[in-house]
Structure 1
Protein backbone atom coordinates (compact mmCIF):
# COMPACT_ATOMS: atom_id res chain seq x y z
CA UNK A 1 0.00 0.00 0.00
CA UNK A 2 1.22 3.52 -0.70
CA UNK A 3 -0.03 6.95 0.19
CA UNK A 4 -0.92 9.73 -2.20
CA UNK A 5 0.74 12.77 -0.66
CA UNK A 6 0.38 16.38 -1.71
CA UNK A 7 3.76 16.33 -3.47
CA UNK A 8 3.12 13.08 -5.37
CA UNK A 9 2.72 13.43 -9.13
CA UNK A 10 0.22 11.18 -10.95
CA UNK A 11 0.90 10.44 -14.63
CA UNK A 12 -1.65 8.79 -16.92
CA UNK A 13 -0.22 6.79 -19.82
CA UNK A 14 -2.21 7.60 -22.97
CA UNK A 15 -1.86 4.25 -24.82
CA UNK A 16 -3.80 1.15 -23.70
CA UNK A 17 -1.69 -1.67 -22.27
CA UNK A 18 -2.16 -5.40 -21.96
CA UNK A 19 -2.99 -6.33 -18.39
CA UNK A 20 -0.64 -9.28 -18.42
CA UNK A 21 2.23 -6.78 -18.40
CA UNK A 22 4.36 -6.86 -15.27
CA UNK A 23 6.47 -4.33 -13.45
CA UNK A 24 9.37 -4.48 -15.91
CA UNK A 25 7.10 -4.03 -18.93
CA UNK A 26 5.36 -1.05 -17.35
CA UNK A 27 8.57 0.64 -16.22
CA UNK A 28 9.78 0.96 -19.83
CA UNK A 29 7.08 3.39 -21.04
CA UNK A 30 7.42 5.33 -17.80
CA UNK A 31 11.11 5.84 -18.43
CA UNK A 32 10.75 6.52 -22.17
CA UNK A 33 7.74 8.83 -22.36
CA UNK A 34 6.27 9.83 -19.02
CA UNK A 35 9.06 10.73 -16.62
CA UNK A 36 12.83 10.91 -16.90
CA UNK A 37 13.30 8.61 -13.93
CA UNK A 38 11.11 5.62 -12.97
CA UNK A 39 12.33 5.96 -9.36
CA UNK A 40 10.88 9.48 -9.03
CA UNK A 41 8.10 10.02 -6.45
CA UNK A 42 5.23 9.60 -8.91
CA UNK A 43 2.40 7.19 -9.58
CA UNK A 44 2.01 6.02 -13.16
CA UNK A 45 -1.50 4.96 -14.17
CA UNK A 46 -2.21 2.58 -17.06
CA UNK A 47 -5.59 1.63 -18.59
CA UNK A 48 -6.73 -1.29 -20.69
CA UNK A 49 -8.21 -0.93 -24.19
CA UNK A 50 -11.82 -0.57 -22.95
CA UNK A 51 -10.70 1.94 -20.28
CA UNK A 52 -12.57 0.13 -17.52
CA UNK A 53 -9.55 -1.25 -15.60
CA UNK A 54 -6.49 0.52 -14.28
CA UNK A 55 -3.03 -0.45 -13.03
CA UNK A 56 -0.92 1.82 -10.85
CA UNK A 57 2.87 1.65 -10.70
CA UNK A 58 4.81 3.43 -7.97
CA UNK A 59 8.34 3.16 -6.61
CA UNK A 60 8.49 2.68 -2.85
CA UNK A 61 11.64 2.67 -0.73
CA UNK A 62 11.78 -1.13 -0.99
CA UNK A 63 10.94 -1.47 -4.69
CA UNK A 64 8.13 -1.10 -7.17
CA UNK A 65 4.49 -1.42 -6.10
CA UNK A 66 1.99 -2.58 -8.70
CA UNK A 67 -1.68 -2.41 -7.86
Structure 2
Protein backbone atom coordinates (compact mmCIF):
# COMPACT_ATOMS: atom_id res chain seq x y z
CA UNK A 1 0.00 0.00 0.00
CA UNK A 2 1.37 3.37 -1.04
CA UNK A 3 1.36 6.46 1.16
CA UNK A 4 1.75 8.65 -1.91
CA UNK A 5 -0.68 11.58 -1.92
CA UNK A 6 -2.35 12.46 -5.22
CA UNK A 7 -1.96 16.18 -5.93
CA UNK A 8 -5.10 18.28 -6.17
CA UNK A 9 -6.34 18.53 -9.74
CA UNK A 10 -8.16 21.56 -11.09
CA UNK A 11 -10.17 22.29 -14.24
CA UNK A 12 -11.27 25.75 -15.32
CA UNK A 13 -14.98 25.43 -16.08
CA UNK A 14 -16.70 28.19 -18.06
CA UNK A 15 -20.10 29.38 -16.90
CA UNK A 16 -23.04 30.61 -18.98
CA UNK A 17 -21.89 33.13 -21.59
CA UNK A 18 -18.19 32.43 -20.95
CA UNK A 19 -15.68 30.87 -23.31
CA UNK A 20 -12.89 28.36 -22.79
CA UNK A 21 -10.28 29.76 -20.41
CA UNK A 22 -12.85 31.81 -18.51
CA UNK A 23 -14.80 30.68 -15.48
CA UNK A 24 -13.95 29.20 -12.11
CA UNK A 25 -11.37 26.63 -11.11
CA UNK A 26 -13.14 23.52 -9.80
CA UNK A 27 -11.56 20.43 -8.28
CA UNK A 28 -11.51 17.42 -10.61
CA UNK A 29 -12.92 14.41 -8.75
CA UNK A 30 -12.85 11.91 -11.62
CA UNK A 31 -10.58 8.95 -12.24
CA UNK A 32 -6.93 9.05 -13.35
CA UNK A 33 -8.03 7.90 -16.82
CA UNK A 34 -10.54 10.76 -17.07
CA UNK A 35 -7.87 13.24 -15.96
CA UNK A 36 -5.41 11.99 -18.57
CA UNK A 37 -8.09 12.19 -21.27
CA UNK A 38 -9.05 15.73 -20.22
CA UNK A 39 -5.43 16.87 -20.24
CA UNK A 40 -4.84 15.15 -23.58
CA UNK A 41 -7.66 17.05 -25.27
CA UNK A 42 -6.24 20.42 -24.20
CA UNK A 43 -9.72 21.92 -24.50
CA UNK A 44 -10.16 23.09 -20.90
CA UNK A 45 -7.28 24.56 -18.87
CA UNK A 46 -6.02 22.11 -16.23
CA UNK A 47 -3.66 22.44 -13.27
CA UNK A 48 -2.18 20.15 -10.62
CA UNK A 49 -1.27 21.36 -7.12
CA UNK A 50 -2.62 24.33 -5.19
CA UNK A 51 -5.68 26.08 -6.58
CA UNK A 52 -4.53 28.70 -9.12
CA UNK A 53 -5.38 32.34 -8.52
CA UNK A 54 -7.82 33.94 -10.99
CA UNK A 55 -5.13 36.29 -12.30
CA UNK A 56 -2.68 33.42 -12.77
CA UNK A 57 -2.20 32.38 -16.40
CA UNK A 58 -1.59 28.65 -16.65
CA UNK A 59 0.59 27.37 -19.49
CA UNK A 60 -0.70 24.52 -21.59
CA UNK A 61 0.45 21.25 -20.04
CA UNK A 62 0.82 18.21 -22.24
TM range (shorter): under 0.3
Give the strand-richer structure, 1 or 2. Answer: 1
Report the TM-score, using the length of structure 2 for normalisation. Answer: 0.24
Of the two, which has the highest radius of gyration?
Answer: 2
